[in-house]
Structure formats: structure tokens, C-alpha cells
Amino acid sequence: MADTSGKPDNGSLPAPDGEPDPLAILPGYTLRRAANAMMAELGTLLSEVDLRVSEASILLLIDGRDTMTSSQIGTALDIRSANMAPLIGRLVTRGLVERVPLDGKSMAIILTVEGEATLHEVRRITQTFEQDLLQRIPTEHRDHFVPALNALWR
């Protein structure tokens, strides 16, 4: 039977009350739901190496760089400065990164040998995750999917 309500059929999953989710037609809402779902999935996968997404992101970011400070890492990953000290502290405690003097007052955050080994596993996990994620996108949209997402935040 055709919908005669005049409301757009958004093809969404039903809300908890069984009705179509009226928010599913809102791009911002849908983007947030997708991001939350993907980050939760990646977080579960990264638990294999006992890392959070933010910690794995730091390892990926500093690989091959020996001059990145905690402040620069926070800026690049959009992590508040108040959250950076405990985050880096956990990685130092695990022996994955170390602080080394950069100049008279700054400390660089660099990978340790153990951090490089863990990074290898992080890369394996994230590459598999990213490939799977792209497989969920219809083929005709894959080439412009990442550029479209980048246009929203850059």
C-alpha cells in the first residue's frame, strides 16, 4: 500500500516505537550515527592489541616523525590538551612511546621498538577495517566518498 502521509520515505530502520526514524533523513544525524558505529567497531578490533582508537591514531600519526610534540599531536587529532597528558602517559607506561628532548623546553613523542611492533599490528587491523568499510559503500560512490567526507571538516 502506498504511503499517503506526504512524509518522505527515508528507507530508514524503525525507531524504537516501530515508526520510521524521522532523523535518518538529516545528513548530520546520519553522519554522527555512522561515525559512532564505525568507531565502536574499530575500537573492538583494536582491543586485540589493547589500544583505544585515540592511542592507535597517535601511533599512526607519529610513525616516521621524530619532532612531533604532544601539543602538535593533539591539534592534528583534535584532542584537547587536558586529555593529551594522560593519553601519552598511558602509551609511555606501556612502553610504546617515549618523550625525548626536542629543544630547550619541548619534548618530542616518538615510537619505541615495542611501539613499532605494535604499530605493525595496528596497521594490519586498520587496513582490514578500512577495506571492509569501503566495501559497504556502493561501488559507484567509493571514489568520491573520502573526498566528500574531507570536504565536511577541512
- pLDDT tens digits, residue range 36-93? 999 999 999 999 999 999 999 999 999 999 999 999 999 999 999 999 999 999 999 9
Q: Which long-range contacts (CB under 8 A, 24 or more apart) does 53-56 make?
A: 54/79, 54/87, 55/87, 55/90, 55/91, 55/96, 56/122, 56/125, 56/126
pTM for this model (two decimals): 0.82
Domain 49-129: CATH architecture, name and number where available: Orthogonal Bundle (1.10)
Tens of pLDDT, residues 98-151: 999 998 889 999 999 999 999 999 999 999 999 999 999 999 999 999 999 999
Give the start-to-end residue ranges of the domains of the chain.
49-129
Q: Which DSSP letter does residue 49 get?
A: G
